[in-house]
Amino acid sequence: MRERAQRHNEPVSGRAESVSDFESRISEFPRVALFSTPTPIERLSRIEEALGDALRGVRLYIKRDDTMGLGGGGNKLRKLEFLLGEARQEKADTIIAVGGRQSNHARLTAAAAARHGFQCELALAQVVPRMDTDYQESGNILLDNLFGARVHDLPGSANPVEFAEERAAVLRAEGRTAYVMASGGSSPTGCLGYAVCANEIAEQARFLGIAFDEVVVPNGSSGTHAGLAAGFVALGSSASRVRSFSVLASEEDSRAATLGKARATAALLGCEATIEETDIRVDGSERGSAYGAPTASMVSAVQLMARREGLLLDPVYSGKAFAGLLAAVRNGDYRDGASILFVMTGGAPSLFAYRHEF
């Protein structure tokens, strides 16, 4: 089976047979089902060919969290399984999510709410100064409306979280029960989704006989990195196995946010191990001038992945993170023969909002 996993782009989905203590702890949290697990891990053989001598024996793999079928797929579904589980436990009838106009989290919240019978409201701010028709009417916002969400358009200066709390109070006065999510779904409860992903990666690595030296992810609201870090620590591994590329805040602010959320998630899991500041590895080199601002390296990374592997990165998150991974390989950051796992977080619908960049 190990040889089979090494062949070009062949997906493998292994699980350990026994239920671990970690899985027993996770089972204590309310949860709804939104996708089938595990998502596959594939070898990026054609990308490796394109990198040529710069690769120096490094092996590149991709975890396909974009393959989750609901709502166009993407990593936020991992968080939403626990967030909607908590909302159902609290007997909520309405879900309120916050974000930017092209928020992947908002899209998937709308889809997940539709699947599980919740009303959905989205508080979306114009945080990216793009007023062209593609950005304002296509991509994720088109799907938000298609999934039946009520969209509240807010100016860039607005605080979507404050608006959501005020809206929840209005709904409560009407006799309804609203559940307000943190930005990106990145509360400790939401981060449990990526703690589970850490366990999934560990099981697949054992099954495949691969020791991943590093797991690479984008970092926006910090929940993906935080959840993975907490999950690996809870499993007796190291949080420093994860490296993220900041796309929203500065490197320093992203590191601080990730550390706080990782510690809170580990505490929620009952993990007594300490996560140190030095364990949280955040790289701000690919952020660009602002959140959602295209960069030449992002465009190049998106095109390379599409033309070499037939896979779609997004222009805001995974495109910038993969650009960072490519730069790290070319700069010789990894030892010869290292195995690097890139988590493909989805977000392809937002390509349509940025079509003029490609």
- pLDDT number for residue 7: 37
- pLDDT number for residue 275: 98
For the chain, the 3-state helix, strand and coil shares in percent, each to the nearest 5, are 50, 15, 35
For the chain, report the end-to-end CA distance as a whole number of angstroms: 39
The matching CATH number, chosen from 3.40.50.300, 3.40.50.1100, 3.30.70.20, 3.50.50.60, for 76-184 is 3.40.50.1100
103 is catalytic: yes
- pLDDT number for residue 1: 29
Cα(75)–Cα(114) distance, integer angstroms = 18
The pTM of this model reads: 0.94
Number of Cβ within 10 Å of residue 209's Cβ equals: 12
- pLDDT number for residue 20: 77
Q: Are 216 and 250 in contact (CB under 8 A)?
A: no
pLDDT in single tens digits along all 358 residues of the chain: 233 333 334 444 444 333 479 999 999 999 999 999 999 999 999 999 999 999 999 999 999 999 999 999 999 999 999 999 999 999 999 999 999 999 999 999 999 999 999 999 999 999 999 999 999 999 999 999 999 999 999 999 999 999 999 999 999 999 999 999 999 999 999 999 999 999 999 999 999 999 999 999 999 999 999 999 999 999 999 999 999 999 999 999 999 999 999 999 999 999 999 999 999 999 999 999 999 999 999 999 999 999 999 999 999 999 999 999 999 999 999 999 999 999 999 999 999 999 999 9
- Count of all residues that appear for the chain in the document: 358
Cα(59)–Cα(162) distance, integer angstroms = 45
The matching CATH number, chosen from 3.40.640.10, 3.10.180.10, 3.40.50.1100, 3.40.50.150, for 2-74+187-357 is 3.40.50.1100
- pLDDT number for residue 146: 99
Of 13, 27, 36, 103, the catalytic one is: 103
Tokens for 92?
């909520």
Q: Are 322 and 300 in contact (CB under 8 A)?
A: no
Give the burial class of 7: count Cβ atoms within 10 A of its Cβ; 0-12 exposed, 13-18 middle, 19 or more buried: exposed
